[in-house]
Amino acid sequence: MFCTAEKVRFLLYAGLVSMCAQGCNRPDAPTGPSSGRGGANFKGRTIELFVGSASKPATEEAAALFEQRTGAKLVVHFGGSGQMLSQLKLTDRGDIYFPGSSDYMEMAKREGLILPETERIVVYLIPAINVSKGNPKNLRRLEDLAKPGVRLGIARPDAVCVGLYAVEVLDKAGLSDRIRPNIVTQTESCEKTAQLVALGHVDAVIGWEVFEHWQPEKIQTVFLPPERIPRIGYVPIAITKRAADRALAEAFIKFLTGDEGQAVFRKWHYLTSEEDARRHALPSTPVGGEFPIPEGWK
């Protein structure tokens, strides 16, 4: 039997032992964001991302929010998905590859650049016609893009996801030969494709339906009929094989695909579920996959 003073000392000691057992042995171990909410402390840690610009405005906002939540630093490079893939290879660094379509993620897999088991879908995309606000040339369907005098822009199909989809849309509709003479320029990224029509350099682009929400005062979307949507696109993300901080990369992916990250993408009017995307397509329309560039477009 302990005396009173000894009993008090024993209980205090037991309490300290219990506290240390619960957390004192691992003070720096991050718990990771839970359900997409950044709760971990990654202060002083950095990851580098190579990102296709199809997701740029929402990704910029989500990255800033993640940094604020966790203390981490994200070095983010934006550009055409093909350009980002080339930089990933040439620089021999980078923790995350985040292209604008499944086509480029499949290329990255074949080249052994990413960890396939870490791939996740962030949002879905639907190809569409984008015109200047008010649609001054009254372009209502794909066939209208073949009218004399229409200036059409697309992204480079050999380097940019939305350019590849543009060619696929024309090819599957059997309209390539009629519309191709009206293509006056090809851009190096989704961002530059949207800018073409926002600045009035062209009458229309074949882009993503979400472009309208990047600059709603300047861009308007003309949706294609469901039977003219060859594929539902999606924006995938994965950790690279050379990732220097896999734990931080995993935390950011969990954040983007969790409640808080998805809310940011919905704010920018991205489609965050396959069900949402299917409202613009047929029940049989495939999701993702790859489209090889036809020989005449190379």
| SS3 letters across 59-115 | HHHHHHHHHHHHCCEEEEEEECHHHHHHHHHHHCCCCEEECCCHHHHHHHHHCCCEC
Q: CA 253, CA 258: separation in Å to the nearest integer?
A: 8
Q: What are phi and psi of 51, to 5 degrees?
A: -125, 130
The architecture (CATH level 2) of 46-124+234-278 comes to 3-Layer(aba) Sandwich (3.40)
126-231+293-297 shares the fold of 46-124+234-278: yes
Domain boundary assignment for the chain: 46-124+234-278, 126-231+293-297
Tens of each residue's pLDDT in the chain, 298 residues: 334 444 434 443 444 334 333 433 333 333 344 334 546 789 999 999 999 999 999 999 999 999 999 999 999 999 999 999 999 999 999 999 999 999 999 999 999 999 999 999 999 999 999 999 999 999 999 999 999 999 999 999 999 999 999 999 999 999 999 999 999 999 999 999 999 999 999 999 999 999 999 999 999 999 999 999 999 999 999 999 999 999 999 999 999 999 999 999 999 999 999 999 999 999 999 999 999 999 888 7
255-271, pLDDT tens digit by residue? 999 999 999 999 999 99
The predicted pLDDT at position 39 comes to: 60
120 CA to centre of own chain: 10
Instruction: State how far the alpha carbon of 270 is from the alpha carbons of 54, 136, 241, in Å.
Output: 10, 26, 28
Render pLDDT for 26-83 as a digit per residue (tens, 0 to 9): 333 333 443 345 467 899 999 999 999 999 999 999 999 999 999 999 999 999 999 9
**CATH number for region 126-231+293-297:** 3.40.190.10
Q: How far is CA 281 from CA 34, 140, 222, 289, in A?
A: 33, 17, 14, 16
CB 167 within 8 A of CB 157: yes
